[in-house]
Structure 1
Protein backbone atom coordinates (compact mmCIF):
# COMPACT_ATOMS: atom_id res chain seq x y z
CA UNK A 1 0.00 0.00 0.00
CA UNK A 2 1.37 3.45 -0.91
CA UNK A 3 1.92 6.15 1.69
CA UNK A 4 -1.06 8.24 0.46
CA UNK A 5 -3.28 5.14 0.60
CA UNK A 6 -2.05 4.37 4.10
CA UNK A 7 -2.74 7.93 5.25
CA UNK A 8 -6.28 7.80 3.83
CA UNK A 9 -6.92 4.47 5.56
CA UNK A 10 -5.67 5.90 8.87
CA UNK A 11 -7.78 9.05 8.34
CA UNK A 12 -10.91 6.95 7.75
CA UNK A 13 -10.29 4.88 10.86
CA UNK A 14 -9.47 7.91 13.01
CA UNK A 15 -12.54 9.88 11.94
CA UNK A 16 -14.82 6.91 12.61
CA UNK A 17 -13.37 6.28 16.06
CA UNK A 18 -13.37 9.95 17.05
CA UNK A 19 -16.98 10.27 15.89
CA UNK A 20 -17.92 7.17 17.91
CA UNK A 21 -16.10 7.83 21.16
CA UNK A 22 -14.60 11.32 21.08
CA UNK A 23 -11.07 12.58 20.56
CA UNK A 24 -9.90 12.10 24.15
CA UNK A 25 -11.01 8.45 24.31
CA UNK A 26 -9.55 7.53 20.92
CA UNK A 27 -6.09 6.00 21.10
CA UNK A 28 -3.44 5.56 18.44
CA UNK A 29 -3.57 1.84 19.19
CA UNK A 30 -7.29 1.74 18.35
CA UNK A 31 -6.78 3.79 15.19
CA UNK A 32 -3.97 1.52 14.01
CA UNK A 33 -5.99 -1.60 14.78
CA UNK A 34 -9.05 -0.36 12.90
CA UNK A 35 -6.89 0.75 9.95
CA UNK A 36 -5.11 -2.61 9.88
CA UNK A 37 -1.68 -1.05 10.25
CA UNK A 38 1.00 -1.11 12.91
CA UNK A 39 0.98 1.61 15.58
CA UNK A 40 4.44 2.61 14.33
CA UNK A 41 2.96 3.26 10.89
CA UNK A 42 0.63 5.86 12.39
CA UNK A 43 3.52 7.54 14.19
CA UNK A 44 5.73 7.33 11.08
CA UNK A 45 3.07 9.06 8.97
CA UNK A 46 1.91 11.65 11.51
CA UNK A 47 4.27 11.83 14.48
CA UNK A 48 1.58 12.04 17.16
CA UNK A 49 -2.14 11.72 17.76
CA UNK A 50 -2.45 15.52 17.76
CA UNK A 51 -0.61 15.80 14.44
CA UNK A 52 -2.80 13.04 12.99
CA UNK A 53 -5.96 14.89 14.02
CA UNK A 54 -4.63 18.20 12.66
CA UNK A 55 -3.78 16.51 9.33
CA UNK A 56 -7.18 14.82 9.33
CA UNK A 57 -8.95 18.15 9.83
CA UNK A 58 -6.88 19.80 7.10
CA UNK A 59 -7.61 16.96 4.68
CA UNK A 60 -11.33 16.85 5.49
CA UNK A 61 -11.81 20.63 5.39
CA UNK A 62 -10.12 20.62 1.98
CA UNK A 63 -12.48 17.92 0.70
CA UNK A 64 -15.49 19.79 2.11
CA UNK A 65 -14.36 23.04 0.51
CA UNK A 66 -13.88 21.32 -2.85
CA UNK A 67 -17.38 19.82 -2.62
CA UNK A 68 -18.99 23.15 -1.71
CA UNK A 69 -17.08 25.02 -4.43
CA UNK A 70 -18.05 22.41 -7.04
CA UNK A 71 -21.69 22.67 -5.96
CA UNK A 72 -21.81 26.46 -6.32
CA UNK A 73 -23.46 26.52 -9.75
CA UNK A 74 -26.63 28.19 -10.89
CA UNK A 75 -27.97 31.14 -12.84
CA UNK A 76 -28.30 33.48 -9.84
CA UNK A 77 -26.47 33.87 -6.56
CA UNK A 78 -29.51 32.47 -4.72
CA UNK A 79 -29.50 29.46 -7.06
CA UNK A 80 -25.84 28.96 -6.20
CA UNK A 81 -26.61 29.31 -2.48
CA UNK A 82 -29.32 26.66 -2.78
CA UNK A 83 -26.87 24.41 -4.63
CA UNK A 84 -24.17 24.86 -1.96
CA UNK A 85 -26.68 23.88 0.75
CA UNK A 86 -27.49 20.72 -1.22
CA UNK A 87 -23.79 20.09 -1.78
CA UNK A 88 -23.14 20.30 1.95
CA UNK A 89 -26.03 17.92 2.71
CA UNK A 90 -24.68 15.43 0.18
CA UNK A 91 -21.13 15.76 1.48
CA UNK A 92 -22.22 15.01 5.03
CA UNK A 93 -24.37 12.13 3.79
CA UNK A 94 -21.17 10.59 2.46
CA UNK A 95 -18.92 11.74 5.31
CA UNK A 96 -21.24 11.58 8.31
CA UNK A 97 -18.47 10.78 10.76
CA UNK A 98 -16.68 14.00 9.79
CA UNK A 99 -19.90 15.94 10.38
CA UNK A 100 -20.16 14.53 13.90
CA UNK A 101 -16.49 15.30 14.59
CA UNK A 102 -16.97 18.88 13.39
CA UNK A 103 -19.90 19.37 15.70
CA UNK A 104 -18.36 17.73 18.75
CA UNK A 105 -14.61 18.27 18.57
CA UNK A 106 -13.75 21.10 16.24
CA UNK A 107 -14.39 24.03 18.54
CA UNK A 108 -11.79 23.19 21.18
CA UNK A 109 -9.12 25.80 21.73
CA UNK A 110 -6.43 23.38 20.53
CA UNK A 111 -7.90 23.35 17.02
CA UNK A 112 -8.21 27.09 16.41
CA UNK A 113 -6.05 26.90 13.29
CA UNK A 114 -8.43 24.32 11.83
CA UNK A 115 -11.41 26.48 12.78
CA UNK A 116 -9.76 29.41 10.99
CA UNK A 117 -9.24 27.23 7.89
CA UNK A 118 -12.85 26.07 8.03
CA UNK A 119 -14.01 29.69 8.28
CA UNK A 120 -11.75 30.86 5.47
CA UNK A 121 -12.29 27.95 3.10
CA UNK A 122 -15.61 26.14 3.54
CA UNK A 123 -17.56 29.01 5.08
CA UNK A 124 -15.83 31.22 2.54
CA UNK A 125 -17.81 29.49 -0.20
CA UNK A 126 -21.04 30.52 1.54
CA UNK A 127 -19.71 34.03 2.17
CA UNK A 128 -18.78 34.45 -1.49
CA UNK A 129 -22.21 33.43 -2.71
CA UNK A 130 -23.89 35.66 -0.12
CA UNK A 131 -21.74 38.63 -1.20
CA UNK A 132 -22.84 38.04 -4.79
CA UNK A 133 -26.49 37.92 -3.70
CA UNK A 134 -26.09 41.23 -1.85
CA UNK A 135 -24.35 42.81 -4.85
CA UNK A 136 -27.12 41.57 -7.15
CA UNK A 137 -29.80 42.95 -4.83
CA UNK A 138 -31.19 39.47 -4.13
CA UNK A 139 -30.77 39.84 -0.37
CA UNK A 140 -30.61 42.86 1.92
CA UNK A 141 -27.56 45.08 1.74
CA UNK A 142 -26.91 45.24 5.49
CA UNK A 143 -26.60 41.46 5.91
CA UNK A 144 -23.74 40.43 8.20
CA UNK A 145 -22.14 38.06 5.68
CA UNK A 146 -19.82 36.27 8.10
CA UNK A 147 -22.56 35.57 10.63
CA UNK A 148 -24.97 34.48 7.90
CA UNK A 149 -22.38 32.12 6.36
CA UNK A 150 -21.66 30.58 9.77
CA UNK A 151 -25.37 30.27 10.57
CA UNK A 152 -26.23 28.57 7.29
CA UNK A 153 -23.27 26.20 7.53
CA UNK A 154 -24.15 25.33 11.13
CA UNK A 155 -27.81 24.85 10.32
CA UNK A 156 -27.02 22.48 7.46
CA UNK A 157 -24.42 20.61 9.55
CA UNK A 158 -26.86 20.09 12.42
CA UNK A 159 -29.73 19.05 10.16
CA UNK A 160 -27.48 16.63 8.24
CA UNK A 161 -26.44 14.91 11.49
CA UNK A 162 -29.99 14.81 12.79
CA UNK A 163 -31.27 13.34 9.52
CA UNK A 164 -28.66 10.57 9.52
CA UNK A 165 -29.25 9.72 13.18
CA UNK A 166 -33.02 10.02 13.46
CA UNK A 167 -34.56 10.15 9.99
CA UNK A 168 -32.34 8.27 7.52
CA UNK A 169 -35.41 7.44 5.44
CA UNK A 170 -36.08 11.13 4.81
CA UNK A 171 -34.85 12.03 1.31
CA UNK A 172 -32.09 14.62 1.15
CA UNK A 173 -34.14 16.53 -1.41
CA UNK A 174 -36.96 16.93 1.13
CA UNK A 175 -34.53 18.18 3.78
CA UNK A 176 -32.98 20.53 1.23
CA UNK A 177 -36.38 21.94 0.25
CA UNK A 178 -37.18 22.68 3.90
CA UNK A 179 -33.85 24.43 4.45
CA UNK A 180 -34.26 26.47 1.29
CA UNK A 181 -37.78 27.48 2.35
CA UNK A 182 -36.33 28.75 5.63
CA UNK A 183 -33.60 30.69 3.84
CA UNK A 184 -35.98 32.18 1.30
CA UNK A 185 -38.70 33.12 3.79
CA UNK A 186 -36.97 36.31 4.82
CA UNK A 187 -34.28 34.98 7.13
CA UNK A 188 -31.75 36.61 4.82
Structure 2
Protein backbone atom coordinates (compact mmCIF):
# COMPACT_ATOMS: atom_id res chain seq x y z
CA UNK A 1 0.00 0.00 0.00
CA UNK A 2 1.48 3.39 -1.04
CA UNK A 3 1.48 6.40 1.27
CA UNK A 4 -1.53 8.07 -0.37
CA UNK A 5 -3.60 4.88 -0.08
CA UNK A 6 -2.56 4.45 3.54
CA UNK A 7 -3.52 8.07 4.23
CA UNK A 8 -6.96 7.58 2.63
CA UNK A 9 -7.54 4.39 4.58
CA UNK A 10 -6.48 6.14 7.78
CA UNK A 11 -8.98 8.92 7.11
CA UNK A 12 -11.72 6.40 6.38
CA UNK A 13 -11.03 4.50 9.60
CA UNK A 14 -11.11 7.79 11.53
CA UNK A 15 -14.52 8.66 10.04
CA UNK A 16 -15.81 5.21 10.95
CA UNK A 17 -14.49 5.55 14.51
CA UNK A 18 -16.19 8.93 14.91
CA UNK A 19 -19.47 7.65 13.52
CA UNK A 20 -19.44 4.48 15.61
CA UNK A 21 -18.51 6.13 18.90
CA UNK A 22 -21.30 8.71 18.68
CA UNK A 23 -23.92 6.19 17.61
CA UNK A 24 -22.97 3.64 20.26
CA UNK A 25 -22.92 6.35 22.93
CA UNK A 26 -26.40 7.41 21.84
CA UNK A 27 -28.11 4.03 21.52
CA UNK A 28 -25.81 1.27 22.75
CA UNK A 29 -23.63 -1.28 21.00
CA UNK A 30 -26.30 -3.90 20.37
CA UNK A 31 -28.77 -1.40 18.90
CA UNK A 32 -26.24 0.17 16.54
CA UNK A 33 -26.01 -1.43 13.10
CA UNK A 34 -23.24 -1.46 10.54
CA UNK A 35 -25.64 0.24 8.10
CA UNK A 36 -26.09 3.13 10.54
CA UNK A 37 -22.36 3.46 11.06
CA UNK A 38 -21.75 3.53 7.32
CA UNK A 39 -24.49 6.09 6.77
CA UNK A 40 -23.24 8.34 9.57
CA UNK A 41 -19.69 8.11 8.22
CA UNK A 42 -20.84 8.79 4.67
CA UNK A 43 -19.40 5.59 3.21
CA UNK A 44 -20.74 2.37 1.70
CA UNK A 45 -21.50 -0.56 4.00
CA UNK A 46 -18.83 -2.60 2.22
CA UNK A 47 -16.25 0.00 3.26
CA UNK A 48 -16.91 -0.86 6.89
CA UNK A 49 -16.23 -4.54 6.28
CA UNK A 50 -13.19 -3.73 4.13
CA UNK A 51 -11.62 -1.99 7.13
CA UNK A 52 -13.00 -4.13 9.96
CA UNK A 53 -14.03 -7.77 10.05
CA UNK A 54 -17.12 -7.01 12.15
CA UNK A 55 -18.87 -4.37 14.24
CA UNK A 56 -17.23 -5.90 17.32
CA UNK A 57 -13.76 -5.51 15.82
CA UNK A 58 -14.53 -1.92 14.83
CA UNK A 59 -15.61 -1.07 18.39
CA UNK A 60 -12.61 -2.83 19.90
CA UNK A 61 -10.25 -0.94 17.61
CA UNK A 62 -11.84 2.44 18.25
CA UNK A 63 -11.50 1.92 22.00
CA UNK A 64 -7.86 0.88 21.56
CA UNK A 65 -7.14 3.82 19.27
CA UNK A 66 -8.79 6.34 21.58
CA UNK A 67 -7.03 5.28 24.78
CA UNK A 68 -3.70 5.05 22.96
CA UNK A 69 -4.20 8.65 21.81
CA UNK A 70 -4.88 9.60 25.44
CA UNK A 71 -1.70 7.79 26.49
CA UNK A 72 0.29 9.75 23.91
CA UNK A 73 -1.20 13.01 25.24
CA UNK A 74 -0.19 12.08 28.80
CA UNK A 75 3.34 11.19 27.73
CA UNK A 76 3.72 14.41 25.76
CA UNK A 77 2.62 16.46 28.77
CA UNK A 78 5.21 14.72 30.95
CA UNK A 79 7.96 15.10 28.34
CA UNK A 80 7.25 18.80 27.79
CA UNK A 81 7.37 19.46 31.53
CA UNK A 82 10.70 17.64 31.80
CA UNK A 83 12.08 19.61 28.85
CA UNK A 84 11.27 22.84 30.70
CA UNK A 85 13.05 21.57 33.80
CA UNK A 86 9.85 21.13 35.80
CA UNK A 87 9.42 18.86 38.77
CA UNK A 88 7.84 15.42 38.50
CA UNK A 89 4.82 16.68 40.43
CA UNK A 90 4.51 19.45 37.85
CA UNK A 91 4.55 16.73 35.18
CA UNK A 92 1.70 14.93 36.94
CA UNK A 93 -0.23 18.18 37.05
CA UNK A 94 0.38 18.70 33.32
CA UNK A 95 -0.86 15.17 32.69
CA UNK A 96 -4.06 15.91 34.60
CA UNK A 97 -4.57 18.95 32.37
CA UNK A 98 -3.86 16.94 29.23
CA UNK A 99 -6.33 14.28 30.33
CA UNK A 100 -9.07 16.83 30.95
CA UNK A 101 -8.49 18.47 27.58
CA UNK A 102 -8.55 15.10 25.80
CA UNK A 103 -11.79 14.05 27.48
CA UNK A 104 -13.39 17.43 26.71
CA UNK A 105 -12.64 16.74 23.04
CA UNK A 106 -13.78 13.10 23.19
CA UNK A 107 -16.57 12.81 25.80
CA UNK A 108 -18.43 9.98 24.03
CA UNK A 109 -15.29 7.87 23.78
CA UNK A 110 -14.54 8.39 27.47
CA UNK A 111 -18.09 7.55 28.46
CA UNK A 112 -17.94 4.29 26.51
CA UNK A 113 -14.51 3.40 27.87
CA UNK A 114 -15.61 3.87 31.48
CA UNK A 115 -18.86 1.96 30.87
CA UNK A 116 -17.12 -0.98 29.23
CA UNK A 117 -14.00 -1.30 31.36
CA UNK A 118 -15.50 -3.51 34.06
CA UNK A 119 -17.78 -5.62 31.84
CA UNK A 120 -15.60 -8.71 31.85
CA UNK A 121 -17.89 -10.67 29.51
CA UNK A 122 -17.17 -8.41 26.54
CA UNK A 123 -15.03 -9.59 23.62
CA UNK A 124 -12.95 -6.40 23.81
CA UNK A 125 -12.24 -6.57 27.56
CA UNK A 126 -8.67 -7.91 27.11
CA UNK A 127 -7.93 -5.02 24.75
CA UNK A 128 -9.26 -2.49 27.25
CA UNK A 129 -7.15 -4.04 29.99
CA UNK A 130 -4.07 -3.80 27.77
CA UNK A 131 -4.53 -0.15 26.77
CA UNK A 132 -5.40 0.82 30.35
CA UNK A 133 -2.12 -0.77 31.42
CA UNK A 134 -0.21 1.37 28.92
CA UNK A 135 -1.83 4.58 30.14
CA UNK A 136 -1.15 3.72 33.77
CA UNK A 137 2.48 2.85 32.96
CA UNK A 138 3.06 6.46 31.85
CA UNK A 139 1.71 7.80 35.15
CA UNK A 140 3.57 5.17 37.21
CA UNK A 141 6.86 6.10 35.54
CA UNK A 142 6.53 9.73 36.58
CA UNK A 143 5.48 8.76 40.10
CA UNK A 144 8.50 6.47 40.49
CA UNK A 145 10.79 9.26 39.33
CA UNK A 146 9.14 11.58 41.86
CA UNK A 147 9.84 9.07 44.63
CA UNK A 148 13.45 8.63 43.47
CA UNK A 149 13.98 12.39 43.46
CA UNK A 150 12.40 12.77 46.91
CA UNK A 151 9.48 14.84 45.66
CA UNK A 152 6.97 12.45 47.23
CA UNK A 153 7.02 10.01 50.10
CA UNK A 154 8.67 6.64 49.60
CA UNK A 155 5.61 5.16 51.32
CA UNK A 156 3.41 5.98 48.34
CA UNK A 157 1.77 3.00 46.63
CA UNK A 158 2.74 3.80 43.04
CA UNK A 159 0.38 1.45 41.13
CA UNK A 160 -2.63 2.32 43.26
CA UNK A 161 -1.86 6.05 43.17
CA UNK A 162 -1.53 5.92 39.38
CA UNK A 163 -4.91 4.20 39.15
CA UNK A 164 -6.43 6.78 41.50
CA UNK A 165 -5.11 9.68 39.42
CA UNK A 166 -6.29 8.11 36.18
CA UNK A 167 -9.71 7.35 37.61
CA UNK A 168 -9.99 10.79 39.21
CA UNK A 169 -9.47 12.51 35.88
CA UNK A 170 -11.88 10.21 34.01
CA UNK A 171 -14.73 10.45 36.50
CA UNK A 172 -14.27 14.15 37.25
CA UNK A 173 -14.21 15.00 33.56
CA UNK A 174 -17.36 12.99 32.85
CA UNK A 175 -19.14 14.60 35.80
CA UNK A 176 -17.99 18.02 34.55
CA UNK A 177 -19.18 17.37 31.00
CA UNK A 178 -22.53 15.93 32.13
CA UNK A 179 -23.51 18.02 35.14
CA UNK A 180 -21.30 21.13 35.26
CA UNK A 181 -20.66 22.01 31.60
CA UNK A 182 -20.62 25.72 32.38
CA UNK A 183 -17.27 25.30 34.13
CA UNK A 184 -14.11 25.88 32.12
CA UNK A 185 -11.23 23.43 31.78
CA UNK A 186 -9.11 25.96 33.71
CA UNK A 187 -11.58 25.85 36.59
CA UNK A 188 -11.73 22.07 36.72
CA UNK A 189 -7.97 21.71 36.35
CA UNK A 190 -7.35 24.21 39.15
CA UNK A 191 -9.52 22.17 41.53
CA UNK A 192 -7.75 18.90 40.68
CA UNK A 193 -4.37 20.61 40.78
CA UNK A 194 -4.95 21.79 44.34
CA UNK A 195 -5.93 18.25 45.31
CA UNK A 196 -2.89 16.78 43.58
CA UNK A 197 -0.42 19.26 45.04
CA UNK A 198 -1.84 18.89 48.53
CA UNK A 199 -2.09 15.11 48.64
CA UNK A 200 0.88 14.07 46.53
CA UNK A 201 3.11 17.08 46.02
CA UNK A 202 3.47 17.68 49.74
CA UNK A 203 4.59 14.10 50.41
CA UNK A 204 8.28 14.69 49.99
CA UNK A 205 8.68 16.55 53.28
CA UNK A 206 8.57 13.58 55.60
C-alpha separation in 1, matches of 2:160 and 2:31? 32
Query: How many pairs are equivalent?
Result: 188
Task: Determine if the alignment matches structure 1 residue 57 to structure 2 residue 68.
Answer: no
Residues 26-105 of structure 1: pairs in structure 2 closer than 5 A: 26-72=32-78, 73-74=80-81, 75-105=86-116
Contact 1:13 1:31 in 2 (8 A): yes
Per mean C-alpha deviation after superposition, the further-off stretch among 140-149 and 8-17 is 140-149
What is the rounded CA distance, in whole Å, between the counterparts of 1:117 and 1:156 in structure 2? Answer: 19
Per-residue deviation at 1:87? 0.4
Give 1:123 shift: 1.5
What corresponds to 1:159 in structure 2? 172
Shift of 1:24: 2.5
Query: In the alignment, is residue 18 of structure 1 matched against residue 29 of structure 2?
Result: no
Out of 194, 197, 202, the position equivalent to 1:184 is 197
Q: Do structure 1's residue 172 and structure 2's residue 185 form an aligned pair?
A: yes
Q: Take 1:68 and 1:18, find their aligned partners in 2: how far apart are those partners?
A: 26
What secondary structure sits across from 1:121 in the alignment?
A: helix
Mapped partners of 2:162, 2:42: distance in 1: 39
Q: What is the RMSD of the two structures over their aligned residues, measured on CA atoms?
A: 1.7
Partner of 1:129: 142
- 2: distance between equivalents of 1:105 and 1:23? 10
Larger radius of gyration: 2
Larger deviation, residues 79-88 vs 176-185: 176-185
Matches within 5 A, 1:108-123: 108-109=119-120, 110=122, 111-123=124-136
Scaled by the length of structure 1, the TM-score of the pair is 0.92
Instruction: Encode CA deviations 1:106-142: one digit per residue, 9 max, x unaligned.
Output: 3322333223322332121111111111111111212
Q: Does 1:5 align with 2:16?
A: no
Q: What is the CA-CA distance between 1:81 and the residue it aligns to?
A: 0.3
- Work out the CA distance in 2 between the residues paired with 1:11 and 1:114: 16
Query: Residue by residue, what CA displacement relative to the aligned partner does 1:4-26 show, whole Å, maximum 9, x if unpaired?
Result: 11111000011111222222322
> 3-state SS of the aligned residue for 1:82?
helix
Deviation (angstroms), 1:158:
0.9
Determine if contact 2:117/2:129 at 8 Å carries over to the other structure.
Answer: no
Q: Distance in 1 between matches of 2:28 and 2:161?
A: 29
Q: Offset at 1:171?
A: 1.2
